[in-house]
A and B are shown apart, each in its own frame.
Chain A
Amino acid sequence: AQRVTQPEKLLSVFKGAPVELKCNYSYSGSPELFWYVQYSRQRLQLLLRHISRESIKGFTADLNKGETSFHLKKPFAQEEDSAMYYCALSGLRGTSYGKLTFGQGTILTVHP
């Protein structure tokens, strides 16, 4: 079974502070990990994926297979980063190809 855990429901930081949103996963095969973001009154959209190894809006995430984690980090948070963040997993070349399993989400609030 595949499972994604985001231990923090709410996270508050001040503008300019570093932020880390935690994500742990459980999957028996080779997973592909994603971060999706939902800004206020907008749709879910892909922020980044581990395969791309890119930085989007200053965010990065590294897949740590030993710790089964995919934490999202940004060194200097901005007010416009305030949103709901979802970590998600898909099976790579497995039977759950395409199916996304989501964590429960973390609401990030960046205070001025």
Chain B
Amino acid sequence: SQTIHQWPATLVQPVGSPLSLECTVEGTSNPNLYWYRQAAGRGLQLLFYSVGIGQISSEVPQNLSASRPQDRQFILSSKKLLLSDSGFYLCAWSVKGLNYGYTFGSGTRLTVV
């Protein structure tokens, strides 16, 4: 069966520090991968998505970046965190095709101080 792993679960980082959040999927190949951010009590904002290795689409210009070095690995990074980067980050994967929704990771709660 397919599983998605996302870590860490919580993170407290100082302003200006780097960030690396990792997401891996098991039990499937060539998935679509997604990074979303959710501010407290708000909806989901799509940050990046990838349909294949090295293919990244950015939805929101900001100081975050994403990479997909392997088929089932998706990494969210920042060189220098801002206070506004605080939030709940969710990774998700889907099979390619219209009828398929997402399976989400358990999320990372990031607090920038």
A and B: interacting chains: no
A-binding residues in B (CB < 8 A) = none
B-binding residues in A (CB < 8 A) = none
